[in-house]
């Protein structure tokens, strides 16, 4: 044991060790930073707050990338990108209307069921697909959807609440129009839907 250690110090492995950094400097290699960190004169908005202690109001939500070596979360820089607040608010509202990021989830209630479910309308491309999915989800039959007869003598009638708050029968309007205006679904019992054309 002692012999190998002495051997190692004779070789002075440290001096010949290949590493980045000036010869003679003993500092450990810095953890890699993201490409957005470049010249040390100008800190990008994503980097640590240290160089921005006096200007911290322009940056919020910054994570210090040098501490843990992982790329920082995208910082929310105030006033960037330079878009008028009217436009920003407009698009924010449009986003909120759509709910849940990429999906378009709406609540589905079935008369007599103890709890509601949620489905993503964006997943379906047409009424037959949607109705099939509802049948599978709730283990019931809504029946064949047809242009002329709507729900063909089944136990249940699919209805939806539209943007105006009215309850409508599923199937009357084009699919695209339907998914834009549907706020929630309710599968009504046939007995309640009598005289409704079902």
Partner 1 sequence: MNYFPDEVLEHIFDFVTSQRDRNSVSQVCKPWYKIESSCRQKVFVGNCYAISPERVIERFPGLKSIFLKGKPHFADFNLVPHDWGGFVYPWIEAFARNNVGLEELKLKRMIISDECLELISRSFPNFKSLVLVSCEGFTTDGLAAIASNCRFLRELDLQENDVEDHRGHWLSCIPDTCTSLVSLNFACLKGDVNLAALERLVARSPNLRSLRLNHAVPLDILQKILMRAPHLVDLGVGSYVHDPDSETYNKLVTAIRRCKSVKSLSGFLDVAPHCLSAFHLICPRLTSLNLSYAPGIHGTELVKLIRHCRKLQRLWILDCIGDEGLEVVASTCKDLQEIRVFPSDPFVGNAAVTEVGLVALSRGCPKLQSILYFCQQMTNAALITVAKNCPNFTRFRLCILDPTKPDAVTNQPLDEGFGAIVHSCKGLRRLSMSGQLTDQVFLYIGMYAEQLEMLSIAFAGDTDKGMQYLLNGCKKLRKLEIRDCPFGNAALLMDVGKYETMRSLWMSSCEITLGGCKSLAKKMPRLNVEIINDNDQMEVSADDRQKVEKMYLYRTLAGQRKDAPEFVWTL
Binding site for partner 1 (CB under 8 A): 35-36, 38-39, 41-42, 44-45, 54-55, 57-58, 74, 77-88, 90-92, 94-95, 173-174, 176-177, 180-181
Least Cβ distance, residue 2 to partner 1 (angstroms): 51
In contact, 105 and 118? CB cutoff 8 Å: yes
Instruction: State whether residue 123 is helix, strand or coil.
Output: helix
Cβ-based nearer residue to partner 1, 45 or 103? 45
Measured over the CA atoms of residue 130, residue 131, residue 136 and residue 138, the dihedral's sign is positive
Cβ-based nearer residue to partner 1, 14 or 163? 163
Least Cβ distance, residue 80 to partner 1 (angstroms): 6
Least Cβ distance, residue 54 to partner 1 (angstroms): 5
Cβ-based nearer residue to partner 1, 169 or 180? 180
Cβ-based nearer residue to partner 1, 41 or 139? 41
Cβ-based nearer residue to partner 1, 28 or 81? 81
Least Cβ distance, residue 91 to partner 1 (angstroms): 6
- For residue 83, what are the CA distances in angstroms to 79, 88, 89, 90, 146? 8, 7, 10, 11, 48
| Calpha distance 153→23 (Å, rounded) | 87
| Calpha distance 147→166 (Å, rounded) | 22
| Calpha distance 181→175 (Å, rounded) | 10
Least Cβ distance, residue 122 to partner 1 (angstroms): 13
Cβ-based nearer residue to partner 1, 3 or 41? 41
Least Cβ distance, residue 196 to partner 1 (angstroms): 21
Contacts from 45-51 at CB under 8 Å and sequence distance 24+?
A: 45/75, 45/77, 45/80, 46/72, 46/74, 46/75, 47/72
């Amino acid at each position: 044991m002692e012999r190998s250690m002495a051997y190692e110090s004779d070789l002075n492995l440290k001096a010949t060790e290949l590493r980045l950094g000036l010869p003679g400097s003993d500092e450990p290699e810095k953890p890699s930073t993201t490409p957005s960190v470049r010249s040390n004169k100008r800190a990008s908005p994503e980097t640590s707050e240290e160089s921005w202690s006096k200007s911290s109001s322009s940056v919020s939500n910054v994570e210090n990338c040098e501490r843990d070596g992982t790329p920082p979360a995208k910082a929310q820089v105030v006033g960037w990108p330079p878009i008028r607040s009217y436009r920003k608010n407009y698009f924010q509202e449009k986003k909120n209307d759509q709910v849940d990021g990429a999906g378009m989830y709406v609540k589905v209630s079935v008369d007599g069921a103890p709890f509601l479910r949620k489905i993503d309308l964006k997943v379906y491309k047409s009424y037959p697909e949607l109705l099939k999915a509802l049948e599978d989800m709730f283990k019931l039959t809504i029946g064949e959807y047809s242009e002329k007869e709507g729900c063909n003598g089944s136990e249940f009638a699919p209805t939806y609440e539209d943007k105006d708050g009215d309850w409508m029968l599923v199937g009357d309007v084009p699919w695209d129009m339907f998914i834009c205006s549907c706020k929630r679904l309710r599968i009504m019992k046939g007995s309640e839907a009598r005289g409704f054309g079902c």
